[in-house]
Amino acid sequence: QDLETLIGFYYAPHVPTLVTDRERSAGDVLEDDPVGRLKVYVYELPTKYNKKMVAKDSRCLSHMFAAEIFMHRFLLSSAIRTMNPEEADWFYTPVYTTCDLTPWGHPLPFKSPRIMRSAVQFISSHWPYWNRTAGADHFFVVPHDFGACFHYQEEKAIERGILPLLRRATLVQTFGQKDHVCLKEGSINIPPYAPPQKMKTHLVPPETPRSIFVYFRGLFYDTANDPEGGYYARGARASVWENFKNNPLFDISTDHPPTYYEDMQRAIFCLCPLGWAPWSPRLVEAVVFGCIPVIIADDIVLPFADAIPWDEIGVFVAEDDVPKLDTILTSIPMEVILRKQRLLANPSMKQAMLFPQPAQPGDAFHQILNGLARKLPHSKSVYLTPGQKALNWTQGPKGDLKPW
């Protein structure tokens, strides 16, 4: 069978944005307006914790961890911001822990615990609010690979655990995996940052046919950090390459062409396998470009899972089932494919995955605020009694305790 015959009816233009009432009830993004439901106080920190970092290295504004910067900028002009801390429901500390980059643009997480500890020490010594709750009414954006565990390798992240000072705070993070030490209960899972304006400039005409069955660009092996293989992506990416590198249905490569965004809009399925962590920017790109995300990451907790119907728009494949990927995808009924494509065409689905500037109703900023609003009111138990100690300030690896 040739490629077009095998793809069959899927070789079709982009699906129109018409969504039936039945599909809207099953597959619409939660669109609550958070304004009026909560007030956030933004601490004013010395610029060394935020603005000076960006001034030193502007690459922090465009990498996949940039949500921490844009959340700060959004809150400064948001209607939910209060200048009176006494009326605040939540307190936000604008500290950019992923803005220490290698020459290749990768965040170095090794100073992050010291930066975060220093920021917490600053707010706890200049305002009374941290000490009232030991941080239980504070939230932090921690978009590292493994969130507030601050390491890019899972084994070491697990060994480190969540920074002890943040164990009562609400963490807003990209990392999400069920029953994992780096995901505490009550965290808000968010999408990684993808540049909205850049993506917009690469949109193709809606009548463009989806002539690629399966698409993926990225690493299959990380020989620099995993020379023996099998550890990176738990072997799932290596399995994709070994099983399907010669399969005509699979357009997969390590090359990252200038037409990457256009190619995703010509594909029916986009692979979203785990890397060092379960999450990937491909999730955002797939949703925005209407390509059905094929999620290969066991036990992943997806962004805004209480608002976005991932089961309705994506395909989940167990890591051990990667060798059967071709059979799994070609056996999905045509009507299921088309329904997923119709749901992905819903503009609210795309909006919820993006951090646009300026902010827009229903975007990722608003989904985060909705998540915070749903946690209110705070239980009385979050407030400490006089003399009560809830955190051990000297806990953690010795290197983390050094001043920053």
CA distance 388 to 3: 68
Domains of the chain: 40-193+364-401 (no CATH), 196-353 (3.40.50)
Determine the average pLDDT of the residues in 358-385: 94
Residues 136-145 pLDDT 10s: 999 999 999 9
Q: Which of 38-47, 266-275, 276-285 comes out lowest in average pLDDT?
A: 276-285
Residues 164-220 pLDDT 10s: 999 999 999 999 999 999 999 999 999 999 999 999 999 999 889 999 999 999 999
Tokens for 341?
């494509």
Q: Where are the alpha helices (H) located in 323-387, listed in sequence order?
A: 325-330, 334-344, 347-351, 364-373
Q: Which of 27-41, 310-324, 353-367 comes out lowest in average pLDDT?
A: 27-41
Tokens for 83?
């200048």
Indicate yes or no: pTM above 0.85: yes
Q: How confident is the model at residue 28 (pLDDT cuts 50, 70, 90)?
A: low
Angle between helices 364-373 and 67-76 (to 10 degrees): 70
Q: What is the mean pLDDT of the chain?
A: 91
Does the pLDDT at position 19 exceed 50?
no
CB-CB contact of 292 with 314 (8 Å): yes
**The Cα angle at residue 128 between residues 127 and 133, in degrees rounded to 5:** 125
